[in-house]
Structure 1
């Protein structure tokens, strides 16, 4: 009889513990669902952040591209100006040589005129 009482007591305890176990399982499931919800929310926030960062990076790349293009255009202008200046300096050198030759011719002419006089 004592054994039967122990078995009934054990069954009663088992039955009483089942709702606790069930409520514990339910609580764990709720916590897991909340964790999953938090993970999804964090993932969405991360995705939004990544999209904003990509947009900012694209803007930066556009600015860099425009700066590169402007710099390239300035460089081309400087090269062109340098070539023109080089040509100008070459022309200036030629002009100086021509002036020097002209001065020599004038000197020779003046001497010749002095000799004729």
Structure 2
């Protein structure tokens, strides 16, 4: 994967998400200057499960804080377990206090 590819750029930003924080597909798309490509970001997150990539894909949720990508993990609860291990509270497949743990790369980059 070369640095000029879309997935590479997505993964570089996702690797910056601090432990205990989450961001959204749409926010990542905006940070890349491609605001209408949130579904492509989602596809990139599906591909990011390769452990060799070292991408914390579990920290990317939908715009409402829902764990919409959870069915792409080894078990239906793995995404939630990874987030909870970082101190994020999940209730009914949704990040509790979403605004509090939301990370915006546009403010950090």
Would the TM-score normalized by the shorter structure come out above 0.5? no
Q: Pick the structure with more helix per residue.
A: 1
TM-score (norm 2): 0.14
Structure of greater relative contact order (alpha carbons < 8 Å, 6+ residues apart) = 2
Larger radius of gyration: 1
